Amino acid sequence: MTMMEKGSYESVPEELALQMVVSRKFIRENPEAAEGVRRMVAATRDDNPGDAEAFEHQQVALGKFDIYDRLPEIKAKTLVIAPRYDIVIPPANGALIATQIETSDLLWLPNSAHPMIEDTELVARKVKEFLDAE
């Protein structure tokens, strides 16, 4: 049973909720940016219960959604991004996905949890390289 099934979004400790978005390393090395993310998380939790409810539904759905056996059916070139510190979707899942999609490339990101926030330039460059290679 996931934390979301046991309780509610509001019951997730603030620091854990923040780490669901960015890594501890990012928090330590980018305190100003991390504070902006912290405010975003707090606003979602405190000021907009609809978003919290949507988040809870997302967590339950992620726990039930299993298409692993169908991954080999994907024939399109696929970029799988696996951030090391993602605590919502374990990075090992990225490797598993990449092994099942014959035409995939795996981008392992050893320093982030949410690379679109933490490694913006690297992710943008890698996605552009991937798309340009087509």
Query: pLDDT tens for residues 59-99?
Result: 777 777 788 899 999 999 999 999 998 877 788 889 999 99
Domain final residue, candidates 20, 42, 65: 65
**Co-location of 46 and 77 in the same domain:** no
Nearest to 90 by CA among 70, 122, 62: 62
Residues 15 and 20: their CA atoms lie apart, in Å, by 9
Helices 49-64, 31-47: crossing angle, 10 deg rounding: 100
**Co-location of 131 and 90 in the same domain:** yes
* Number of CB atoms found within 10 A of residue 107's CB: 20
* Number of CB atoms found within 10 A of residue 4's CB: 18
Domain count, the chain: 2
Tell me the whole-structure pTM to 2 decimals.
0.66
The parent domain of residue 84 ranges over 68-134
CB 97 within 8 A of CB 72: no
**Co-location of 27 and 43 in the same domain:** yes
**Co-location of 77 and 29 in the same domain:** no
**Co-location of 61 and 73 in the same domain:** no
